[in-house]
Chains A and B, each alone.
Chain A
């Protein structure tokens, strides 16, 4: 067993330089690496490219890094719910590349699977297709999309062990498994760092080979964006 454990978030992100390309897991505020985002804030590195389905909200998630102007470019599928984001986008301070969600997921998956490009029907005939190669397969037009890879992928899991094996919970899985595979260095923060052997090998979502650093996270807020309930 190769021990991937590090002490905490600050140690895990210690060597992320200015202008790094990052992938950050999560959908909305669900399954985001809260501890590492805080550590990036403390570290104060700038010029980051963040590949993440969303950009957080004004005062949580990646929104915190936007506020401190640490992000130069966002690559996302949906960036609503963030006024600071809107301001920086309209003023030209922030570069944004919007990608259809399934294409984003598959580009990241491809990056982690050694597949440099693939064809998808999403975006054909739209502005997303501009400048991209198209090809017809069995009478339908598809768009060529390239893989995405990162300098550092930062993911959040429910449970993990020292070997870097990860298990996610609920819909907090989302982009985390693919991003874990597409990082030159992959950092995993987990709610429960368990002993090696405790996780059932049959039920591991991300095999440890993809993970380079893992640590026990702390003080998870898990903020809810849209609280909807059934009244008694």
Chain B
């Protein structure tokens, strides 16, 4: 089973040289730490920055420089700053190559729910609906099951939807799965020490298992 860092490390393997990438809050933010140093990628922050750098040293903190999670950051050489309208223009027009975000539920049709739990506090969708509606390639980082053991990879989402048919790949604490264009989860890799049977039992939506499923290499 993978912890948060494990999920981030596995997702980092999906990153390719030359990509523009938007990382969501939480586990997706950690992915930045595991992108190979010899790769040139540019991280987009939807509040208006291309070229997110590492967190600043204490002495370099600038309150006018934050990421979408409102954390203090730095800029890489060659960064560009812009407005929120321009930021979402580049997102909607498909200029961002890869979007990595968290989810509370994903359906076998690739629908994603990650913004609202009715009856609990509603914080708002932020940029999630814009990102999932337009991204060319969306990878979801998530826990396969709830704390109570209920599957979060479902036939249909039970929570309010963020976007329809948009998730392409899921990296959970148990497995790597593709969402098939025709519907259903295709099991690609098992997390270390996790059996195919465990993954099957933890997946409520249709799951397709072809031949031997390799254990992921981190």
Contacts and interface: CB of A to CB of B under 8 A. Distances in A.
A225 interface: yes
A102 B72 contact: no
Given A28-B66, A170-B64, A223-B63, A229 B85 contact: no
A122 B123 contact: no
A171 interface: yes
B84 A175 contact: yes
B121 A126 contact: no
A11 interface: no
Interface string B6-48: 0000000000000000000000000000000000000001111
Interface size on A, as a range, is 35 or more
Interface stretch (A40-48, A63-71, A75-83, A209-217): A75-83
A222 B127 contact: no
Contacts of A168: 81
Contact of B83 (A78, A105, A225): A105
A161 interface: no
Interface residues of B, number: 50
A172 B84 CA distance: 10
Contact of B84 (A53, A128, A226): A53
A172 B65 CA distance: 7
B147 interface: no
Nearest to A205: B83
A108 B160 contact: no
A122 B130 contact: yes
A227 B72 contact: yes
Interface in A114-150: 120-128
B129 A123 contact: yes
A171 B129 contact: no
B66 A30 contact: yes
A28 B72 contact: no
B213 to A, nearest CB: 32
Contacts of A30: 47, 63-64, 66, 70
Interface string B62-91: 111111011111000000011111011101
Most buried by B among A76, A176, A228: A228
Contacts of B54: 230
B42 to A, nearest CB: 15
Interface in A17-49: 27-31
A122 B134 contact: yes
Nearest to A76: B124
Contact of A170 (B65, B87, B88, B89): B65
A173 interface: yes
A229 B64 contact: no
B198 to A, nearest CB: 32
Contacts of B63: 29-30, 222-224
Nearest to A83: B121
Contact of B65 (A120, A126, A171, A176): A171
Interface of A: 27-31, 53, 76-80, 86, 89, 98, 100-106, 108-109, 120-128, 158, 168-178, 205, 222-230, 232
Given A76-B124, A104-B84, 14 more contacts: A29-B63, A53-B84, A78-B124, A78-B125, A80-B123, A126-B160, A126-B163, A127-B160, A127-B161, A171-B66, A173-B48, A225-B66, A226-B71, A228-B71
Top 7 A-B pairs, shortest CB-CB distance: A102-B88, A102-B130, A80-B123, A170-B64, A222-B63, A100-B129, A125-B164
